[in-house]
């Protein structure tokens, strides 16, 4: 069988770890070992018991890494399912018990896995969704949350607040949010998908009620994630069937994926402190180099506590999508951080919520670093960004002249 060309396997420079990160060797080994074995974890014979042991040992390892009890870990297909199970399951349970509880409070910068789930609840279940403002750095304004809760606490079903933003990397005051909500008897969900790699994510310490994680952001397999949920929390299932996971999530457990998820999270958490320092230094070097090459490039979220590997910059006079494709042609991969609908680029809802105009929101790129990132990656970007921006601006000027 002919070898696969290198450029079809691994990009020359990968700067999109916030989208997904290379699978760790430990996760590959864990998944591969299980794929060669047979056994449904729900079966009672020896093969089933062996598979169940893999699942439960993985659950215990994940719980230890995330500061929760094993019985609080519900395995899912990833962060999106975990977010949906938490938000819809909590809303149904709370609203069914107390019909007056219809309000859901969320920062306007949440991931679409949260925002679209809330839109669905509003359109189909009568939920009243209140998107709360953030400051110029993308942080939730706690005074606004407190006022919203105090206005009519008996009408609030739940609060959701991501641990760290997937676009600009801003870290949210999740512990303070949980404390404010708890004072009014309101449960809190947090999407911690982006946080686990470089922040100390501790479920018990932060005081939230549910927490979503996924494997492929930390070097685990795609399609494996978990919802951490308090044991005494009432959640209505999204999917009905065998009730394999606490009767709130049905479906045959994928022992291989679960083992890979646990291996990746454990390895990530063990090296987190040192890795956060290393990535922050690389990120700062990247920002300095880009701004030296493009002096009017603007770093978004610079004044807030940010994820160590995130650098989100706006390039005046450019379209982010054009910059992305020009960099891609040079073997550098990054992201605009914006959503696309039917192939039509949309400005980042995160930057708009931070008070930036449409033009700035469309001129931005997200560079995100991870466990395989090197100084050579940063140097390659710094060398390429000046000519790329110059070319994008020239093309934009020509297009404007024709218009």
Region 57-63: what's the mean pLDDT? 98
371 & 259 share domain: no
- Give the domain CATH number at 293: 3.90.1150.10
Nearest one of 345, 381, 2, 300 to 136, comparing CA atoms? 300
Q: Percent of the chain scored above 90 by pLDDT? A: 91
Residue 49 and residue 71: Cα distance in Å, rounded? 18
Residue 400 and residue 403: Cα distance in Å, rounded? 5
Region 57-83: what's the mean pLDDT? 98
Residue 327 and residue 15: Cα distance in Å, rounded? 11
Kindly indicate the confidence band of residue 401, based on its pLDDT and cuts at 50, 70 and 90: low
Contact 355/303 with Cβ under 8 angstroms?
Answer: no
Answer yes or no: is pLDDT of 304 > 90: no
Contacts (Cβ under 8 Å, ≥6 apart) of 396: 317, 318, 319, 322
Residue 263 to residues 214, 266, 274: CA-CA distances in angstroms?
Answer: 12, 5, 18
Contact 159/105 with Cβ under 8 angstroms?
Answer: yes
106 & 236 share domain: yes
Per the domain annotation, does 20 fall within a domain?
no
H or E segment at 66?
helix 46-66
Per the domain annotation, does 145 fall within a domain?
yes
pLDDT tens digits, 345-396:
688 999 999 999 999 999 999 999 999 999 999 999 999 999 999 999 988 6
Answer yes or no: is pLDDT of 223 > 90: yes
100 & 67 share domain: yes
Residue 80 and residue 223: Cα distance in Å, rounded? 10
pLDDT tens digits, 319-335:
999 999 999 999 999 99
Answer yes or no: is pLDDT of 5 > 80: no
Per the domain annotation, does 2 fall within a domain?
no
286 & 244 share domain: no
Helix (H, G, I), strand (E, B) or coil at 249: strand
Contact 299/313 with Cβ under 8 angstroms?
Answer: yes
Amino acid 10: pLDDT = 53
159 & 193 share domain: yes
The number of CA neighbours under 13 Å toward the Cβ of 85 is 33
Per the domain annotation, does 18 fall within a domain?
no
Per the domain annotation, does 4 fall within a domain?
no
What is the dihedral sign for C-alpha 198, 263, 212, 205?
Answer: negative
126 & 140 share domain: yes
Answer yes or no: is pLDDT of 340 > 60: no
Per the domain annotation, does 169 fall within a domain?
yes
Region 182-187: what's the mean pLDDT? 97
Contacts (Cβ under 8 Å, ≥6 apart) of 391: 326
156 & 291 share domain: no
Choose the catalytic residue: 9, 68, 161, 340.
340
Amino acid 303: pLDDT = 87
178 & 298 share domain: no
Nearest-5° Cα angle at 129, 125 to 132: 170
72 & 196 share domain: yes
Region 160-185: what's the mean pLDDT? 97
pTM over 0.85: yes
38 & 153 share domain: yes
Last residue in a domain, options 270, 285, 312: 270
pLDDT tens digits, 23-43:
999 999 999 999 999 999 999
Q: Which two tokens stand for residue 131?
A: 């998107």
| Annotation says 68 is catalytic | no
Residue 133 and residue 225: Cα distance in Å, rounded? 29
Kindly indicate the confidence band of residue 118, based on its pLDDT and cuts at 50, 70 and 90: very high
181 & 68 share domain: yes
CA 289 to centroid of chain Cα atoms: 26
Q: Percent of the chain scored above 70 by pLDDT? A: 93
Answer yes or no: is pLDDT of 344 > 60: no
Last residue in a domain, options 235, 270, 305: 270
Per the domain annotation, does 59 fall within a domain?
yes
pLDDT tens digits, 88-100:
999 999 999 999 9
Residue 20 and residue 39: Cα distance in Å, rounded? 29
Answer yes or no: is pLDDT of 3 > 70: no
- Give the domain CATH number at 149: 3.40.640.10
208 & 337 share domain: no
Kindly indicate the confidence band of residue 4, based on its pLDDT and cuts at 50, 70 and 90: very low
Residue 187 and residue 356: Cα distance in Å, rounded? 31
Last residue in a domain, options 270, 303, 330: 270
Per the domain annotation, does 209 fall within a domain?
yes
Region 188-209: what's the mean pLDDT? 98
Report the number of distinct structural domains present in the chain.
2
Task: Print the domain residue range for 351.
Answer: 272-402
Residue 373 and residue 332: Cα distance in Å, rounded? 12
Q: Residue 104 phi/psi, 5° resolution?
A: -125, 130
Amino acid 110: pLDDT = 97
Nearest-5° Cα angle at 169, 163 to 172: 35
DSSP 12: S
Answer yes or no: is pLDDT of 122 > 50: yes
């Amino acid at each position: 069988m002919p070898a696969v060309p290198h450029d079809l396997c691994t990009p020359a420079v990968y700067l999109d770890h916030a989208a997904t990160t290379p699978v760790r060797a430990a996760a590959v080994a864990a998944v591969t070992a299980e794929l060669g074995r047979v056994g449904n974890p729900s079966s009672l014979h020896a093969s089933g018991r062996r598979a169940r042991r893999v699942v439960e040992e993985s659950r215990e390892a994940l719980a230890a890494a995330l500061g929760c009890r094993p019985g609080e870990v519900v395995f899912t297909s990833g962060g999106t399912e975990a977010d949906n199970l938490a938000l819809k399951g909590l809303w149904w349970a709370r609203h069914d018990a107390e019909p007056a509880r219809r309000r859901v409070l969320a920062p306007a910068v949440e991931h679409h896995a949260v925002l679209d789930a809330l839109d669905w609840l509003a359109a189909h279940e009568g939920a009243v969704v209140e998107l709360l403002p953030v400051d110029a750095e993308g942080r939730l304004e706690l005074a606004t949350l407190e006022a919203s809760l105090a206005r009519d606490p008996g009408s609030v079903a739940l609060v959701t607040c991501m641990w760290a933003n997937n676009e600009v990397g801003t870290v949210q005051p999740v512990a303070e949010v949980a404390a404010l909500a708890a004072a009014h008897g309101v449960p809190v969900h947090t999407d911690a998908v982006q946080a686990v790699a470089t922040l100390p994510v501790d479920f018990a310490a932060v005081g939230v009620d549910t927490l979503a994680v996924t494997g492929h952001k930390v070097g685990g397999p795609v399609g494996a994630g978990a919802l951490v949920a308090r044991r005494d929390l009432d959640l209505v299932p999204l999917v009905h069937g065998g009730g394999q996971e606490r009767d709130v999530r049905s479906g045959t457990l994928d022992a291989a994926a679960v083992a890979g998820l646990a291996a990746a999270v454990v390895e990530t958490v063990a090296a987190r402190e040192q890795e956060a320092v290393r990535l922050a230094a690389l990120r700062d070097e990247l920002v300095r180099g880009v701004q030296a090459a493009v002096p009017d490039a603007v770093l978004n979220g610079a004044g807030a506590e940010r994820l160590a590997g995130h650098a989100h910059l706006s390039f005046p006079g450019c379209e982010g999508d054009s910059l992305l494709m020009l960099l891609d042609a040079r073997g550098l991969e990054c992201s605009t951080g914006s959503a696309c609908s039917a192939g039509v680029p949309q400005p980042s809802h995160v930057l708009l919520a931070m008070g930036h105009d449409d033009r700035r929101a469309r001129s931005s790129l997200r560079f995100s670093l991870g466990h395989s990132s090197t100084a050579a990656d940063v140097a390659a970007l710094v060398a390429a960004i000046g000519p790329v921006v110059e070319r994008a601006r020239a093309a934009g000027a020509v297009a404007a002249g024709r218009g």
